[in-house]
Amino acid sequence: MAKITVNQERCKGCGLCVNACPKKCIGFSSEINKIGYHYAVLKNEEACVGCGSCYQMCPDTCIEVYR
């Protein structure tokens, strides 16, 4: 059991977490946030192993990891 949460208002949609995820379980939201970006979302909670790769790559410290 693992998951991540993304601070949707802070995320700039750079996609470094999406690319870093070894399980490919992060994607982009269809809507845009207040600062104008398609923010990152955990698309497949089942697959998340809580490895923290996304957290490591996030330049805005938007991601929290639970395990």
Partner 1 sequence: MEKILSRPKALKDFPLSYCPGCGHGIVHRLVAQAIDDLGIRERTIAVAPVGCAVFAYNYFNFDTTEAPHGRPPAVATGIKRTNPDKIVFTYQGDGDLAAIGTAETIHCANRGENITVIFINNANYGMTGGQMAPTTLLGQVTETTPFGRDPLREGYPINVCELLAGLKGTKYIERVSVCDAPNVMKAGKAIKKAFQNQVEGRGYSFIEVVSHCPVDWGKTPLEATKWVKDEMLKIFPLGIIKDETK
Q: CA dihedral in degrees (14, 15, 20, 23; nearest 10)?
A: 160
Tell me the C-alpha distance between 66 and 61, whole Å: 15
Question: What are the structure tokens assigned to 57, written together?
Answer: 């790559």
Q: How far is the CB of 47 from partner 1 (least distance, A)?
A: 15
User: In this chain, which of 13, 33, 43, 47 binds partner 1, going by CB under 8 A?
Assistant: 13
Contact between 1 and partner 1 (CB under 8 A)? Answer: yes
Helix (H, G, I), strand (E, B) or coil at 20: helix
Q: Which of residues 16-55 bind partner 1 (CB under 8 A)?
A: 16, 19-20, 37, 50, 52-55
- # of chain residues touching partner 1 (CB under 8 A): 28
Closer by beta carbon to partner 1, 41 or else 57: 57
